[in-house]
Amino acid sequence: MDMRGNDPTNKGRYDVIVVGGGIAGVAAAVSSARAGAKTLLIEKCVNLGGLATTGLISWYEPLCDGQGKQMIGGIAEELIKLSVEYGLDSLPERWGGNRPDRKENERYATHFSPTIFSVALDDYVLKSGAQLRFDTWATYPVMDGSKCLGVVTESVNGREFFEAGAVVDASGDASVMDRAGVPCVLGKNYMSYIAHYYDTADAQKLMETKDTRVFRKWMGVGSDMEGNGHPEGMKLFDEATAEELTRFMVVGKQKLLERIKQKGKNNFDITTLPYMPQFRTIRRIVGKCDFPAIDGMTCEDSIGWCGDFRPKGIGKHYQLPFGALYSEGFDNLIAAGRIISAPQGDGWEVSRVIPVCALTGEAAGRAAAISALKGATMDEVRERYMEQVRVQAE
């Protein structure tokens, strides 16, 4: 077999490479660059935001506990503000809470335009000093024992090698850490597929209100997050394979087509399709410790507090352990976002939403910068530098 072009071109050294430009990767790249590390963010699509934007989620879960207390600050707060800065949506004026005029279940959360937010994210990342590389797939980490020397990528340039002092895996599926040999666990997913649409009945409303949000209403087919609506007898999606991802997208679009046929011609349009599979949990690492999401849980290596977005989570408070972001025996590899070490159930549910992904991304970026600039392993970062890694709410 002729493997022409197999040798990668060496693209030089970065202190920190972040793989994946979803919310976690954006937060990691920005915090790493702000910590003084030469940082490169590699994204296989051509827009930032991951599931939040490319996956059309467009609802930023709350930064508060549902009882008026701010739980997460830092980059998560910067991003929620940026998500509505140029679009039509706006944030609640206050942090919810038990004031007399509080609406039921009012939280410090918001809808946002996924397209406008994504455009604004480029500028946000570049202003931090981090560099961007789009349309580039990080295929393999290059390991030397417990140390990651950098990542191999594929793009229109062919195969390239980016050397790194530390690598943040913010891929949403832990593919870098999995391929480095970090122990991982697969998630289980119901069939759910969400597109954006508008209805001609809304045209009148648009004339009256000028509210163009009618163009991006959710059309969800399949299941909600509890499994209600999962097609009877259909196998869960629980393998991180290209075949399963394809099955998910094909079944989702088949179900959407059925819905389109039911709605009838001339009544509506699908304005955007998701450009990545809307799996909630693909794969996560087995870390030094887990984040089980137990109310009131504290830990010595806390990176900060978070709340619980679910109605049943009102008033719940959790500290997130740094140990859930890395696995022992891997010196300079760290996870961010929905792939941290959190068991299926409450831990994974709480940690996979946008604000918590931003929190773990910010902490991972800081830790990666320290690891690269001081030559410290993640265990050493945990022992000596937690004050610099911790992200506190204001």
Least Cβ distance, residue 54 to ligand FAD (angstroms): 6
Residue-level length of the chain: 394
Stretch that binds ligand FAD, among 22-30, 98-106, 206-214, 378-386 (CB under 6 A): 22-30
CB of 319 to ligand FAD, least distance (A): 19
Question: Which of 112-120, 124-132, 255-263, 272-280 is the region at the interface with ligand FAD (rule: CB under 6 A)?
Answer: 272-280
By CB under 6 A, tell whether 365 contacts ligand FAD: no
In the region spanning residues 26 to 55, those forming contacts with ligand FAD, defined by CB under 6 A, are 42-45, 50-52, 54
Our finding on whether 196 is near ligand FAD (CB under 6 A) is no
Beta strands in the chain (DSSP E): 9-19, 39-42, 59-60, 110-111, 131-133, 137-144, 147-155, 158-169, 184-186, 192-199, 217-222, 268-272, 283-285, 302-306, 318-321, 333-335
Q: Which of 39, 83, 171, 302 binds ligand FAD (CB under 6 A)?
A: 171
**Candidates 15-23, 89-97, 179-187, 243-251; binding stretch for ligand FAD (CB under 6 A):** 15-23
| Complex with ligand FAD: residue 95 or 377, whichever CB lies closer | 95
Pairing state between β 283-285 and 184-186: antiparallel
Judged by CB, which is closer to ligand FAD: 44, or 377?
44
Q: How far is CA 195 from CA 49, 120, 187, 207, 228, in A?
A: 16, 22, 23, 23, 18
- 132 near 39, Cβ under 8 Å? no
Distance CA 55, CA 159 (A): 27
Positions 72 through 101 that interact with ligand FAD (CB under 6 A): none
Place of tokens 């702000």: 34
Q: How far is the CB of 309 from ligand FAD (least distance, A)?
A: 7
Two structure tokens written together for 138: 């990080």
276 burial (CB, 10 Å; 0-12 / 13-18 / 19+) is middle
Please identify, using beta-carbon distances, which residue of 202 and 349 lies nearer to ligand FAD.
349
Residues binding ligand FAD (CB under 6 A):
19-25, 42-45, 50-52, 54, 57, 59-61, 137-138, 170-172, 175, 192, 194, 276, 278-280, 337-338, 352-354, 357
